[in-house]
Structure 1
C-alpha cells in the first residue's frame, strides 16, 4: 500500500512539474506576443522601424525585475543607524577627492544651473557610488517586462516609449542602454521620462550621455534640481532640537513657517542656541518619529524629494553634501 501511495505521489509530482514547466514557455510566449503589440504601438510614436527592430532584437522577460517590483524592501532602521551605512567615511573621502578632481567642470556646471557642486557630487555618490553601480538591465527589456506584468502597465509603457524616443534621437545605442531593474538609467539614474525632461548635452557633442560623459551627468543632475526649484543661496536642511514637543499638525513638508516663527515655538540649533535670523521658510521634519532626528527643511529639501520621495534618501544626500563642505 505504501509503495502504491509513493508511486501515485511521484506521478502527481511529475504532472505538477510538467505543468509548471509548461507554464514558463507559455508566459514567455505571451510576453513575446505582448512585445509585438508594443512594437506596433511604438511605430505610432514616430519611432523609426530600424530603431524598433534594434531595441527589441534581444528582448527577454526579466522575472528578476518583476520580483523586485513586487517585493521592494521596507526600512526597519532609524536615521541614526542608516546614515553611517549610507554615508561611510570612505564615501566622504572619495566624494571630496572627486570634487577636487572635477572642480573646474563642476564649478562651470554649478554656475550655469545655480546648484552648489557639493550637492551634484552627493547625488552622484548616493545614486550610483559615483558612477560605479548603474545597473546592468536592458532598459527596454526591464520596462517591457514590468509593463507586461500589468500592475503598473501605463507607467512602464510610458517609460518604455520614452526609452525608445531616446534611442530614436541617437543619444545611445540599444545594447548600451543599461539601467536598474526599474529602468533608471546612467550615473544619475534618470527614468526615461526624466531623461527627456531634464538630460543635458553640456559639452555640445550632440548626445545627452548620462552613462559615460561626466559633463552631461553633472549638468543633467543640476538641471533637474534647477527645474524643480533649487536655490543655491540655501542649504538643504538644518538638524535642530526642540525645547518642547510640538503638535503633529505643525510637522511635515506641507507646513511652512519662518525661522522666527519656529524660534518662537521652541525650535533651536543642535547646541541649544537661537536659530539664524534670516527670512527663510522651513518645515519641521521628523523622518523617524518624535524621538528621532528633527530637521528644519528648506526649499531644497523639497527639491530633493522630487528626485526621490524618501526622507532617508534626502537625508543621505544632504548629510554627504554637508560632510563634503565641512571637511574642506
Structure 2
C-alpha cells in the first residue's frame, strides 16, 4: 500500500480537477490522526488515500467506522471484525433493507436507451416490463429497479438492480463492483448452508 498522507497530499495539490475533494479528505485525515493518536506516516492505503480492509476514505472512516470488538480501538487495517462491521454500518446508513432482494435476472427486448438511466432505481418493475425489460425472478411489480446490462461469457446479460443493489453502489459507484459483491455473497452463503 501507499502512505495515506502521501496519496492525499499529492492528490490535493497536484490533481486540480479533484483538488477540493482530496483537500477535504486530507483535512479529515490529519484531524483523525491527531485525535486518534494513530501514527500519521504509518497508515497505509490505496493510491487514492482509501484506508484499511474496507478501503474507507477518511471522511467515511470518521462517519461509519466501528469498534466491533469493544476494545476502544477502531482498526479497519488489521482487524477483519472492525472492517466488516464498518462496511455493514455504511450500508445501514445508506438504507440497506435487511432481507431485501439485491438484483433480479431479466430478459430484454426493447430500446437499449433504457440502460442509460444510471444506478439509482427510478422505475417500477411494471414500468420496466412495458419498456421490454422483464424480470425472470419473483419481484413485486411496484418495486423500483434500474436495468443493467453486463457482458457475459455467452453474450449480454440483463439484470434489474433493486434498492439494496443501489446501496452497494453508494459504497463503490460501479455496477460491476456491486454485482461482484452480490455474487460473492451468494457463493459464501451457499458454502455456509
Q: TM-score, length-normalised on structure 2?
A: 0.83
What residue is the counterpart of 1:90 in the other structure? none
Bigger relative contact order, structure 1 or 2, given CA contacts below 8 A and separation 6+? 1
Is residue 2:74 matched to residue 1:211? no
Give the number of equivalent residue pairs. 187
* Superposition RMSD in Å: 2.5
Q: Secondary structure at the match of 1:239?
A: strand
What residue is the counterpart of 2:161 in the other structure? 297
Matches within 5 A, 1:37-116: none
Moved more, 168-177 or 215-224: 168-177
Matches within 5 A, 1:155-304: 155-170=21-36, 172-242=38-108, 244-246=109-111, 248-249=113-114, 252=117, 253-254=119-120, 256-263=122-129, 267-269=134-136, 275-277=138-140, 280-287=143-150, 292-304=156-168
| Structure with larger Rg | 1
Deviations 1:77-122 (A, max 9, x none): xxxxxxxxxxxxxxxxxxxxxxxxxxxxxxxxxxxxxxxxxxxxxx
Q: Indicate if the aligned counterparts of 1:203 and 1:216 stay in contact, CA closer than 8 A.
A: yes
Q: Indicate if the aligned counterparts of 1:202 and 1:216 stay in contact, CA closer than 8 A.
A: yes
Rounded to whole Å, the distance in 1 between the matches of 2:21 and 2:35 is 21
Shift of residue 210, structure 1, vs aligned partner: 0.6
Deviations 1:217-251 (A, max 9, x none): 12111010011111112132112222x22462475
Shift of residue 313, structure 1, vs aligned partner: 1.0
Rounded to whole Å, the distance in 2 between the matches of 1:171 and 1:304 is 31
Q: Indicate if the aligned counterparts of 1:171 and 1:209 stay in contact, CA closer than 8 A.
A: no
Higher strand share: 2
Q: 1:183 to 1:263 in 2, by over 3 A?
A: same
Match of 2:178 among 314, 319, 325: 314
Q: Secondary structure at the match of 2:145?
A: strand
Shift of residue 294, structure 1, vs aligned partner: 1.1
Q: 1:174 to 1:326 in 2, by over 3 A?
A: same
Match of 2:9 among 144, 149, 162: 144
Unmatched 5+ residue regions in structure 2? none
Q: Indicate if the aligned counterparts of 1:143 and 1:159 stay in contact, CA closer than 8 A.
A: yes
Q: 1:144 to 1:247 in 2, by over 3 A?
A: closer
Rounded to whole Å, the distance in 2 between the matches of 1:261 and 1:304 is 23
Rounded to whole Å, the distance in 1 between the matches of 2:115 and 2:48 is 35
Q: 1:143 to 1:279 in 2, by over 3 A?
A: same
Unmatched 5+ residue regions in structure 1? 1-134
Shift of residue 304, structure 1, vs aligned partner: 1.1
